[in-house]
Structure 1
Amino acid sequence: MGLAYDSYRVLSGQLHFPKWSLHIIDFLYWCGASIFVFRMLYISNQGQLRFYAFVGLFLGVWLYFLILSVTTQRFVVMLIKIVQYVLYLLKRLFMIFIWIPLRTMYRILIWILSATGTLLMFIVHIILRCLLPFWRLSKWMVSPLTSRFKIPSWLQKLVNSCIELWKRRF
């Protein structure tokens, strides 16, 4: 019971529980300890509660707090530090072996895609510049035919918006 109490005291100090929860946890601990003590007394003494049992209980608690309490608290603090260090190592290993490679691959993929897109747009731009004289020539040749057909207004608006977007882009 002393080990559990010292562990609880150290953990509550290290983990900074809210003050209101400390009272609840204290109450639960003492209820559990009382049930445990009276259950053990009932089993060992066949339900007879005598003065020497309480004296022995008091001396045991007093000797524990006199001799073993500080050692137990130091041991629990050491365990907490070991757990914190192991968690720190796991976090570092995750960062080194998983997060940083994934982030680097993502950045490389984005760079490759943007470079490919830029190169593709450049090639399309050059091809269209080279085809511009042929486009003008074919437009001039077809203009007598197209002048006789009426283009629907919605199609004309769509073509004009595409032309404006193209001009803004290039």
Structure 2
Amino acid sequence: MTLSMQWLTMAVMLLSGLGMGTVFDGYRVMSNELKFPRWWLPVLDVIYWMAAALVVFRVLYASNNGEVRAYVFIGLAIGIILYYLLLSKIVIIVVKWVIGAVRKLIAFVLKCLEILIVKPILLLYKLVMVILAFGSALTIFALKIVVQLVRPFWKLLLWMVRPVTRPLGRWLSPYLAKWQLAERLSKIGLLIAQLWSKWFRR
């Protein structure tokens, strides 16, 4: 391997060290800001180091066909040290700002959805319920008026057919007693009276 290839590999490893530090600080800040459970941190650390090892090996393989030499570790160490000396605080500030901006954006989108969608739907629902309640009350009122208007004609009709219904009742009374229709009709009449008093009570 030529000297220039070695310096190129060392520079690539230095950049890899900078990237490792950036990703490490980024996920640490995110885990703290998003309140991840504490038992998740060891799992995330393991995932981070496995991913970092795979990425560094892939970069190393692309730069010098995967040869591991001392300058590889030197480049990584220099990159990590430079990152924590020069860039760590800046990255932490930027990541926190990005998280805050995303939170504000999500809150803004949710507020817009509430104003433009949720509140109109609730208002429409309340309006429909008010219209249905008013319609039900108006219908019951109209039925009461109709019943009051029809009642005299109904009484007149009963009085007119009474001469016919009396002989017919005497003739049907044995059959009605046999089939217990009187009891059944009384139960039905009682149920109708209860519903009448419930729906058309003055």
TM-score (norm 2): 0.76
Unaligned runs of 5+ in 2: 1-19
Q: CA RMSD in A?
A: 1.8
Q: Percent identity?
A: 35
Alignment of 1:5-154 (within 5 A): 5-147=24-166, 148-149=168-169, 150=172, 152-153=181-182, 154=184
8 Å Cα contact 2:26-2:95 kept in structure 1:
yes
Deviation at 1:144, TM superposition (A): 3.2
Task: Identify if the C-alpha distance between structure 1 residues 79 and 146 changes in structure 2 by more than 3 Å, giving closer, same or farther.
Answer: farther
Deviation at 1:55, TM superposition (A): 1.3
Task: Identify if the C-alpha distance between structure 1 residues 143 and 164 changes in structure 2 by more than 3 Å, giving closer, same or farther.
Answer: farther
**Which structure has the bigger radius of gyration?**
2
CA distance in 2, matches of 1:133, 1:53: 109
What's the CA shift string for 1:100-133, capped at 9, x where partnerless? Answer: 1111111111101111110111111022112222
CA distance in 2, matches of 1:168, 1:121: 11
Q: Structure 1 stretch 24-33 or stretch 37-46: which is displaced more?
A: 37-46
What's the CA shift string for 1:68-122, capped at 9, x where partnerless? Answer: 1111111111111111111111111111111111111111111011111101111
**Within the alignment, does 1:161 sit opposite 2:191 as a pair?**
yes
Unaligned runs of 5+ in 1: none
Deviation at 1:27, TM superposition (A): 0.2
The runs of at least 4 aligned residues of structure 1 exceeding 3 Å deviation read: 149-156
Paired residue secondary structure (1:19): coil
Count of aligned pairs between the two proteins: 170
